[in-house]
Amino acid sequence: MTKAELIECVWNFGKKQGFSKTAINDLCDCVFQELTKGIKKDKRFTYPGFGTWTVKNRKARKGRNPQTGEEIKIKASRTVGFKPAPGFKSTL
């Protein structure tokens, strides 16, 4: 699903209440901005029935350049992991 498809789905529900597509777009942007802030601040964000996003640390490691086969060092980094809620996972 793309952002445009998400906005279309939400708008199909929201137009009954008089929301415009622009308002729905702004609302979706706001939700994801706040989700991002929450993950940065608390290192996790939980949405009951859907799942939990958490900050994960990756250790430095060795890898290979796929073009040359040369061994390279990959720096340590942080990323976000997602664990689906049991109810959501069982529907997949």
Domains: count for the chain: 2
DSSP 50: T
Q: How far is CA 59 from CA 10, 39, 75, 78, in A?
A: 39, 20, 7, 9
User: Same domain, yes or no, for 2 and 35?
Assistant: yes
Structure pTM? 0.73
Instruction: Compute the distance between CA of residue 81 and CA of residue 57 in angstroms, rounded to an integer.
Output: 10
- Please determine, for residue 13, whether its predicted confidence score (pLDDT) is greater than 90: no
User: Same domain, yes or no, for 90 and 51?
Assistant: yes
User: Same domain, yes or no, for 23 and 35?
Assistant: yes
User: Same domain, yes or no, for 88 and 49?
Assistant: yes
User: Same domain, yes or no, for 77 and 34?
Assistant: no
Q: What is the pLDDT of residues 20-38, one digit of tens each?
A: 899 999 999 999 999 999 9
DSSP 66: T
Domain range for 58: 43-92
